[in-house]
Amino acid sequence: MSVHSFCGTSRQPSAPWHILGAGSMGSLWATRLARAGYDVRLILRDQARLQAYHAAQGLTLVEGSNAILLPIAAQTPDAADPITRVLVACKAYDAEYAVAQIAHRLSPEAHLILLQNGLGSQQAVAAQVPHARCVFASSTEGAFRDGDWRVVFAGQGHNWLGDPEQGAAPTRLDDLQHSGIRHEWSPTIMSRLWRKLALNCAINPLTVLHQCTNGGLKAHTQTVDALCIELSALLVGCAQPEAAVNLSAEVHRVIDATAQNYSSMYQDVAQRRRTEISYLSGYACQAAQRIGLDTPHLHAIHQQLIAHLTHLGLPSH
C-alpha cells in the first residue's frame, strides 16, 4: 500500500470545521474536508490524546490500496478559538458530555451536525445548547479504525441531514459537496432516524443474542415478525406513520441483502466495546412506555440483551 503525505490546497478563508471526536466517522469527515482544502480542527479528548496525535503527525485516510496522511490541526476542548460549525462524531453515550465541554466556545450563529446513531442523544445535546442550531444526521457510510489515527473508508454511502424543527438547510453545506461527502437535505429527518432505529431494533439485538450474522435471523422469522408488528405500532404511536410503512418487508430485505454481515452491535460486543443500546432498543422501550403501548417482545429482547451484556462484563446502558 502506498502512503502519500498531503498538504491540501487552501480554499478561500471561511469558518473552520471543528470535528468533535476523531474516531471512525469523525476522521472520515475530517480527512475528506481537509483534502479538499478546508480549515479543519480536530477536538480531542485531552492532552494525552493530543500528544499521541501529534506523534502520528496527522490522520491517515485509507481508501482501497491508497493511504493518505493529512496533517490536520488538533486541539483539546479548552482551546480558545470560537466554534461556528462542528461535527459531533462521538458515540451517542459520549455526545452530551463532549458538547458540554465546548458549549462556551459556540458562536451565536453556531450549528452542530449530530452524527449519532439511534435517538435520544441528539435531543439531549440540543437541549443543552438551546441557542445553537442542531442539525441531525443519518449516515449509511461505513468506516473503521485499523489503527490509532487511521481510518478505513469501508462502505460508500449517503448522509441525510435535517432539522427536527423543519428549518431550511444551513448555507455552508456546499463544503460537503466539494469534499466528496455525499449528502442531501432531508425535510423528514426524524422519520429517517425513527425508521433506522426500528430496523436496528428488529435486527441487531437478535444477532447478539443468537450470536449470528444478519442472515442467521432467517432461523428466527417469528420473533423478527413479532418485533416488526410492535415497532410499527410504536412508530405510528409516536407520530411517525411514514416510518412504519412496509417495515417488516424492509427488515426482511435487509436481512437478505446483508446475510453475510455481522451487525454493528454484534461487532461492538465481539470486540468488547460498549454498545449504544440505550439509544436504540432502550430508547424504543422508553418511548413505548411513554405512550402506554404494550410491546412485550421488544421489552423481553431488550432485557435479554441487558442480561447478556452484564454476563459478559460489558456496560448495559
Summarize as ranges the residues that interact with ligand NAP (CB under 6 A).
Answer: 20-26, 43-45, 49, 77, 89-92, 94, 97-98, 101, 115-117, 139, 141-143, 145, 276
Closer CB to ligand NAP, residue 49 or residue 299? Answer: 49
Q: Kindly give the interhelix angle for 221-237 and 189-209, rounded to the nearest 10 degrees.
A: 150
d(CA 114, CA 128): 13
Closer CB to ligand NAP, residue 23 or residue 215? Answer: 23
CB of 42 vs ligand NAP, minimal distance in Å: 9
Closer CB to ligand NAP, residue 79 or residue 229? Answer: 79
Closer CB to ligand NAP, residue 52 or residue 300? Answer: 52
Q: Are strands 59-63 and 2-5 parallel, antiparallel or unpaired?
A: unpaired
Q: Is there a catalytic annotation at residue 218?
A: no
CB of 279 vs ligand NAP, minimal distance in Å: 8
CB of 138 vs ligand NAP, minimal distance in Å: 8
CB of 225 vs ligand NAP, minimal distance in Å: 26
Closer CB to ligand NAP, residue 220 or residue 274? Answer: 274
CB of 80 vs ligand NAP, minimal distance in Å: 17
Residue nearest to ligand NAP (CB): 23
Q: Write the secondary structure of the chain as one string of H (helix), E (strand) and C (coil).
A: CEEEECCCCCCCCCCCEEEECCCHHHHHHHHHHHHCCCCEEEECCCHHHHHHHHHHCCEEEEECCEEEEECCEEECCCCCCCEEEEEECCCHHHHHHHHHHHHHHEEEEEEEEECCCCCCHHHHHHHHCCCCEEEEEEECCEEEEEECCEEEEEECCCEEEECCCCCCCCHHHHHHHHCCCCEEECCCHHHHHHHHHHHHHHHHHHHHHCCCCHHHHHHHHHHHHHHHHHHHHHHHHCCCHHHHCCHHHHHHHHHHHCCCCCCHHHHHHHCCCCCCHHHCHHHHHHHHHHCCCCCHHHHHHHHHHHHHHHHCCCCCC
Among the listed residues 18, 196, 252, 302, the single catalytic one is: 196
Distances (CA, A) of 64 to 4, 68, 155, 267: 13, 11, 11, 22
Closer CB to ligand NAP, residue 141 or residue 230? Answer: 141
CB of 293 vs ligand NAP, minimal distance in Å: 25
Residues involved in catalysis: 196
